[in-house]
Amino acid sequence: MLILEFEKVFSSMPRMKILKLLYSLGQLNISDIARRTKMNFTTTDEHLRLLESEGIVKQYLYGRIRLYSFNEASEKARVIQKLIQIWEQNK
């Protein structure tokens, strides 16, 4: 498992868009995430795989459909959710 530096995870605007989207909408499939973030499928998949490798998001498989959500068991995921919550409250 590749462990990334803090800066690498947070330095990407597309990854931050994905995290905000999952925070606000909960569980989404990869196609919905790609469409809502205006990214292509491959790029979205790369970002989700990175976030999953860090334990921030988790993937559920329902047949051929891959659903993603925050990994509630991960302290990193809980901290990121709290950060987004605080940020959104103080706009």
pLDDT for 71-90, tens place per residue? 999 999 999 999 999 999 98
- pLDDT for position 2: 53
- pLDDT for position 4: 60
Distance CA 62, CA 36 (A): 21
- pLDDT for position 91: 73
Q: What is the pLDDT of residues 21-69, one digit of tens each?
A: 999 999 999 999 999 999 999 999 999 999 999 999 999 999 999 999 9
Residue 73's CB is within 10 A of a number of other CB atoms, namely: 9
Q: pTM value?
A: 0.88
- pLDDT for position 86: 94
Sign of CA dihedral 67, 73, 79, 83: positive
